[in-house]
């Protein structure tokens, strides 16, 4: 069995590789269009009835990208969701939210669809 520390280490490697693949040397669109001082708030809005999965993974991704992002979880992993539900809010630096967004959405869509 893998220890919690080893699991976290492996998860961090997966997240780092996925962010590097997605963003490369920087999110040039965000850097060009959004001031580094800009802050914002985003929400995960459910598009289809089902069971939500990946909330804890999303928290890990947001924390990896920027430890100053604040996540407010409204619905936990494994819970039933319906169209229009809000699963969580994330608030903080806009560039950080956008940097993590694609990985979070892609992973959660896959995990929740299984």
Which tens digit of pLDDT belongs to each residue from 78-110?
999 999 999 999 999 999 999 999 999 999 999
> What are phi and psi for residue 17, nearest 5 degrees?
-65, -40
- Would you identify the CATH topology of the domain 4-113? Aldehyde Oxidoreductase; domain 3 (3.90.1170)
Domain boundaries, the chain: 4-113
**pTM (two decimals):** 0.90
Please state, as a whole number, how many other Cβ atoms lie within 10 Å of the Cβ of residue 30: 18
Calpha distance 58→10 (Å, rounded): 15
**Residues 44-60: pLDDT tens digits?**
999 999 999 999 999 99
**Residues 26-47: pLDDT tens digits?**
777 777 889 989 999 999 999 9
Structure letter (DSSP) for residue 88: E
């Amino acid at each position: 069995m893998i220890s919690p520390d080893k699991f976290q280490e492996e998860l961090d490697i997966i997240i780092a590789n996925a962010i590097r693949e997605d963003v490369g040397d920087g999110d040039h669109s965000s850097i060009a269009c959004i001031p580094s001082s800009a802050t914002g708030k985003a929400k995960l809005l459910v598009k289809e009835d089902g069971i939500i999965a990946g909330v804890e993974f999303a928290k890990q991704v947001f924390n990896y990208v920027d430890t100053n992002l604040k996540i407010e979880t409204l619905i936990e992993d494994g819970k039933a969701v319906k169209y229009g539900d809000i699963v969580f809010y994330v608030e903080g630096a806009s560039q950080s939210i956008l940097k993590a967004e694609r990985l979070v959405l892609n992973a959660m869509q896959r995990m929740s669809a299984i």
